[in-house]
Amino acid sequence: MYGWIWRVIPGGTGAKVVTVLLLAGLAGVVLWYVVFPKLEPHVPLDRVTVGR
């Protein structure tokens, strides 16, 4: 998959590196601000139960 992305992106090596970094950053931003907030109510990360 990564090889396919590398071949599809136009430009030389420098342009490809910049484009890949921008795409990775965009994916991170979308995950951080859109996907994770929608999943947070469904994932019990802050509900701590202590058994005795």
Q: Tens-digit pLDDT profile for the chain (52 aa)?
A: 789 989 999 999 999 999 999 999 999 999 999 999 999 888 877 777 776 6
In angstroms, the CA 5 to CA 21 distance is 12
Q: What pLDDT score was predicted for residue 48?
A: 73
In angstroms, the CA 9 to CA 24 distance is 13
Domain limits, the chain = 2-40
The string of DSSP letters for 2-51 reads HHHHHHHS-S-HHHHHHHHHHHHHHHHHHIIIIIHHHHGGGS-SS-----
Q: What pLDDT score was predicted for residue 28?
A: 97
